[in-house]
Structure 1
Amino acid sequence: MKQIIDFIPLIVFFVLYKMYDIYVATGALIVASALQIVLLYVLYKKVEKMQLITFVMVAIFGSMTLILHDADFIKWKVTIVYVVLALALAISHLMGKSAIKSMLGKELELPNQVWNKITWAWVVFFALCAALNVYVAFHLSQDIWVNFKVFGLLAATLLFTLLTGVYIYKYLPKDNKVE
């Protein structure tokens, strides 16, 4: 259920962009993101830090998009989210508290060098997504950017998650592997 709730603002943005324009879609994205936070809190009594950070960024950059009537601001939000993710993973790892290991380490027992490789792979992935978003957002049409944001980045993230799972599987202790 939580995963479905996570996609609601993105779906609302995409549908309203296709029906109207970037400004209607951006306004709806702000509202949908706020409702998402409320719904997550009501259902789970908890909201993840990254969801709050993303909401604040949607509210700030979305409001700037609407007030200044300039779609470039909402395009930058995507890049900044990926940069924040890359930096958060890198900094937490360098401080000796790998965020990925903290999230998954309770369920998975892996050697430290595997956690290190996974962390740096995700740092590079997020940095590449940020750079690619800048290129697509500011060198291609707005329609291409919206499709890229909604489908391209989502597909890339799902694929990278799958590849990470395949990589992890090789290092699982024999008794943890599903045969």
Structure 2
Amino acid sequence: MTETQAPKWAKPALEFGPILGFFAAYLWLKDHTFVIGGTEYAGFIVVTAGFIPVFLLSMAALWRLTGHLSRMQAVTAVLIVVFGGLSVWFNDPRFFKMKPTMIYLLFGGVLGIGLLRGQSWLQSVMEGAMPLTDRGWMILTRRLMLFFFGLAVLNEAIWRTQTEEIWVYFKTFGLTAAIFVFFMTQGRLFKEHGLPEDDKG
């Protein structure tokens, strides 16, 4: 399926809507306990169970509207199903809390494998969005790899040492803000290694 034009609001709404919905539902149900099939489930588990189909539906809608899902989105969806499903199945929130760690370790590891091969696999998926020289892509890939590994370590530290509510705030806002800040601090790299307009094609 070729990529089609979708309303500008659709992509961010479908990507961030489920995350914000998870956050709002958690604040609403965090102090509640539900008995389902004779088993008690904390609000966090119930919200996680609801988040999985909502996220998958949003990705399906995004694919329907744009005709495209990135590899990162597809991998994230799989890991959400796996780790979210494990949390619900075993009635243990730790699996879902580990999910960001696994995502960032995977992304960082993939970028690292590419670097060991002398390639920037980041360039293959983002070249159209940020035209850079080959050297610029290698530098950005190396930095992003280290950044992903740092986020994995940080997520482990937060969920293992802080309260569940603090982790939910961190997951909803902290991780998103960290990625935004990372790219904002790469301005010098984009300036020094950005391609002229004539070379962007």
TM-score, normalized by length of structure 1? Answer: 0.89
How many Å separate the matches in 1 of 2:76 and 2:197?
38
Cα gap change, 1:109 to 1:30, in 2 (>3 Å): closer
Q: Structure 2 residue aligned with 1:161, among 183, 186, 189?
A: 183
Q: C-alpha separation between the residues in 1 aligned to 2:175 and 2:55?
A: 18
Is the alpha carbon distance of 1:109 and 1:65 closer, same or farther for their aligned partners in structure 2, counting shifts above 3 Å? closer
Percent identity (aligned): 28
Structure 1 64/110 Cα, relative in aligned 2: closer, same or farther at 3 Å?
Answer: closer
Cα 1:114–1:27 change in 2 (3 A) is same
For 1:1-150, what aligned pairs fall within 5 Å after superposition? 1-20=10-29, 21-106=43-128, 108-150=130-172
CA distance in 1, matches of 2:158, 2:63: 34
Q: Which runs of 5+ in 1 are unaligned?
A: none
Structure 1 or 2, whichever has the larger Rg, is 2
What amino acid is aligned across from residue 167 of structure 2 in structure 1?
Answer: W
Deviation string 1:61-109 (CA, Å, 9 cap, x unpaired) is: 1111112111100001110001111011111233344122223434655
CA distance in 2, matches of 1:109, 1:64: 40
Cα RMSD over matched residues?
A: 1.9
| Partner SS, residue 70 of structure 1 | coil
Contact map agreement 2:83 2:96 (CA 8 A) in 1: yes
Q: Quick one: which amino acid aligns to residue 16 of structure 1?
A: A
Q: Is the 8 A contact 2:44 2:93 kept in 1?
A: yes
Q: For structure 2, list consecutive stretches of 5 or more residues without a partner in the other structure.
A: 1-9, 30-42
Q: Which has the higher helix share?
A: 1
CA distance in 2, matches of 1:31, 1:13: 12
Give the Cα separation in 1 of the matches to 2:162 and 2:156. Answer: 10
Give the 3 Å change call, closer, same or farther, for CA 133–107 of structure 1 in structure 2.
closer
Q: TM-score, normalised by structure 2?
A: 0.80
CA distance in 2, matches of 1:63, 1:97: 35
